[in-house]
A and B are shown apart, each in its own frame.
Chain A
Amino acid sequence: MALWTRRGLAGATAALGLSALPHRPARAQGKSITVTALGGIWEEAVRTCFAQPYEKATGNRAQVLIGSPTQWLAQIEANPARPPIDALVTIPDLAIAAVQKGLVERFTVEKTPNLVHTPEEFIAPLDGHGVLFDYGVAGFTFHKGRVKQPPKSFAEFVERTAKGEWQASLPGIGYAVTPIMLIWAMAKALGGGVDNVDPFFEAVRKMGRNVSFWNSPNDFENALASGDADIGIYFDGRTWAWSDSGASFAGFLNPSEGGSINAIAIQKPKNASEEAWPYLDIMLSAEAQLAFAKKLNYGVTNRLVVYPPGLAERITPWQQAAFPPYAEIAAKRAAWVDRWNREIRR
C-alpha cells in the first residue's frame, strides 16, 4: 500500500506540476483573444482562413477554442463580466438566446466595415447582435448506387418512402437543429408552416417503419455506408466533404420546395476584448469567406464572393433554399419536441 501510494503520488504530482503554468494568458495585456471553432476540418479552416490573417494584420494572438456552441453559451452566461470567449461561432437558436439574455454586442459598420457586404437577410434574424456568416442546406443525401432516381421534392420523398422504395434516415429529436431542418422544413414543404406542423407529423406516420432516426451526424453516415439506410436528410457541405474523403457513392440534392438554411452565426460577447472586432471583420470579408467555403464546401454570406467552377455547382444559393424564421421557430420548439415525444416516441 505504502509503495503503491508513494508511486501514485509521485506520478500524479509530476503530472500536475506541468499544469502549474498559467493556462489563460492574462487578458489585461489585451493582445490575445480567444475565438471558437467546431472541431476537425472546421477548426483547421478557422486557423488558416481567419486566425492567421488576423494575427498577421494586428500582431495580436488568436487562440482557437474547439468545442460546441452549447458549451460556449453556458460559459459566457456563467461569466458575464469576464467572458472567457471574445469571438463566438454558434447556431442561430443559441445566438437568439444570447441576444435575448443581453449577452452580446451589436455589430456596426464602424467596427466591422465588411458588414456592408452582408445581405440584410443574414443580419436581421439577430437584430444586428451577430451575423450569419455561412450556411449549409439540409436536403436529400442518398446512395447513388441504391437510389438511382432520387426524389425531387419533399412530397415525392414522403410518398416513395411510404411505399417502401428505400429505407430512409431522418434527423432525430436528440439532434439540436431537427426542429428547423426537419419539422419546420418538411411541414412548410407539405403545405404547413410555423403555425401548422400537422403535415410533418402526418408524413412521419405515413412513412412508418421505413424511416429511422439519427441523433448524431456520424450515425447517418454509418447507416448509409453500411446499408442500414439508402437516403436521408442531411447537409450539403458535409455530404461533399464525405464524398471527397472516399464515400463517392454519396449524392446530394436540394428539394424543389427548398431545403432549410442552417446557418452559423458570429457574435461578440459583452465585456469581451475589443480586439475581437478586427477578427470578426475578417470573418465577414469576401476573401476569408471564399477561402473558408473552398475548405468546407459550405455557402458563405458576403455577396462579393464568387465561387470558382466546381465549388459553384456544389453550393446551393441561399435564394433557392428555405430561410427559416428562426425566432418564431424558437418560440414553438418546446411544443414540437413535446408532441414528437408523445406521438413518434422514437
Chain B
Amino acid sequence: MRRADPALWLLRAVVALFILFMLAPILVVVALSFTSAGYVVFPLPGLSLRWFARMLDYAPFLQGLRVSLQVALGATLLSVLLGVPASLALARSHHPAALAAMTFLLSPLSMPMIVFGFAALFFLSRIGLGLSLPALLVAHGCVCLPYVVRVTAAAYRGLPPALEEAAEVLGASRAAVLRHVVLPLLRPAIAAGSLFSFLVSFDNLPLSFFFGSPGTNTLPVVMLSYVEQQFDPAIAAISTAQLAVAVLLLVLADRFYGLGRLVGQEGGG
C-alpha cells in the first residue's frame, strides 16, 4: 500500500498545497512580529524583539489574556457538560422532534454574533448578570455548544449500535456502557468539539465586546481597541506568541498523550 502509489502522491500534493495555503498568510504575521520598524510595513527593514517586549509591557494585553483563557476554558467545559449528553440522546433518533431539537441546538451558529451580543447584553443586564464573568461565560456557552453537539452527534451516529447492545446483553448497566464503551470511542469527537469550542471562544470579538468592563475585557477586545488607535506590530507579536504556545501544547500532547489517539489510530499514539 505504501509504495510509490500515484493516488497517494496526488493526495500528498493536495495536502502540501493545503499547508502552504493555510500557513502563507500566517507566516507573514509571524515575520512581521520580528520587525525593527516602528510601524507596520513589508518587507521588514530589520529584525528585533522590541514588539515582544511591548506585548509584555502593555498591561491590558496580559489582563485580557487571563480573562480570555478563563472564559474559553469555562465555556468549553460548560458546552461539553451540556452538549455531550444532549447529542447522545439525539443522535440516533429519527423522530421529527429530534430533528427539530438538533436544529434548535445548532441555531446560535447562524446569528451574526454582534446581534446576539447586543441582545444578550440587554437580556443579561435585565436579569442582573450585567457585565460579569458569568455573563460572558453564558454568552460564549451559547455559541460554543453547537460545535460540541454536532461533532459528537456525528461520531456517535457512526458507531455501530451493536457494540452497546452486546455490552448490555452481557449485563452492563447503561452507565457502565456509556463509561466503558461509548465515551472512550467518542473521545476524538469530544476532543475535536472541545478544541473548536476553545478556539471559537478564544478568538471571539463581537460577543465579548459588549461585556467589556475593567475586569472582563478579553484579549481580542483589547487588541481591537489597541489597533484602532495604534496600528503597530505588537499585535503580530501576540499572534506569534499564541502560535508558539500552540506548538508547545501540541508537542506536549503528542509526547504524553499521543495525537494519534485524538485524530487517527494508526501509526501513532
Contacts and interface: CB of A to CB of B under 8 A. Distances in A.
Do A and B pair up? The answer is yes
Interface stretch (B65-73, B92-100, B105-113, B157-165): B65-73
User: Which of B66, B209, B216, B225 has the most A CB atoms < 10 Å from its CB?
Assistant: B225
Contact of B229 (A19, A41, A65): A41
A1 B187 contact: yes
A337 interface: no
Nearest to A72: B212
A38 B41 CA distance: 23
A225 B45 CA distance: 13
A222 B76 CA distance: 36
Interface string B115-141: 000100110011000111100000000
A39 B231 CA distance: 10
Interface stretch (A192-200, A238-246, A254-262, A268-276): A238-246
Contacts of A75: 121, 125, 131, 210, 212-213
Contacts of B266: none
A40 B186 contact: no
Contacts of A1: 183-184, 186-187, 190
Contacts of B66: 18
B190 A218 contact: no
A34 B183 contact: no
A253 to B, nearest CB: 20
Contacts of A319: none
A63 B131 CA distance: 15
Interface string A69-103: 00100110111001010000000000000000000
A221 B231 contact: yes
Contacts of A247: 38-39, 41
B217 A84 contact: no
Interface in B75-92: 76-77, 80
Contacts of B130: 78-79, 82, 84
A43 interface: yes
B228 interface: yes
Contacts of B80: 5, 8
A79 B124 CA distance: 10
Given A1-B187, A23-B215, A39-B226, A12 B74 contact: yes
Nearest to B235: A218
Q: Main SS of chain A's interface residues?
A: helix
Nearest to A17: B70
A46 to B, nearest CB: 11
B210 A63 contact: no
Contacts of A216: 227-228
Contacts of A15: 69-70, 73-74
Interface in A37-69: 38-43, 63-68
A242 B228 contact: no
Contact of A24 (B213, B222, B229): B213
Interface in B205-238: 209-210, 212-217, 221-222, 224-232
B49 to A, nearest CB: 17
A76 to B, nearest CB: 10
A63 B59 CA distance: 13
B194 interface: yes
A221 B228 CA distance: 11
Given A19-B133, A66-B222, A84-B130, A40 B229 contact: yes
A218 B229 contact: no
A221 B224 CA distance: 16
A9 interface: yes
A180 to B, nearest CB: 17
Contacts of A64: 214
Nearest to B42: A226
User: Which of A65, A217, A242 has the most B CB atoms < 10 Å from its CB?
Assistant: A65
Contacts of B187: 1, 4
A11 interface: yes
Interface in A1-43: 1-2, 4-5, 8-9, 11-12, 15-16, 18-19, 23-24, 34, 38-43
Contacts of B38: 245-247
Contacts of A23: 132-133, 213-216
A39 B229 contact: yes
B73 A39 contact: no
Nearest to B132: A23
Contacts of A245: 38-39, 232
B121 A65 contact: no
26 contacts: A4-B190, A8-B73, A12-B74, A12-B76, A15-B70, A23-B215, A24-B132, A39-B228, A40-B229, A40-B232, A65-B212, A66-B60, A66-B221, A67-B225, A71-B209, A74-B118, A75-B213, A77-B122, A78-B122, A78-B126, A79-B125, A225-B40, A225-B41, A245-B232, A246-B41, A247-B41
Interface of A: 1-2, 4-5, 8-9, 11-12, 15-16, 18-19, 23-24, 34, 38-43, 63-68, 71, 74-75, 77-79, 82, 84, 216-218, 221-222, 225-226, 241-242, 245-247
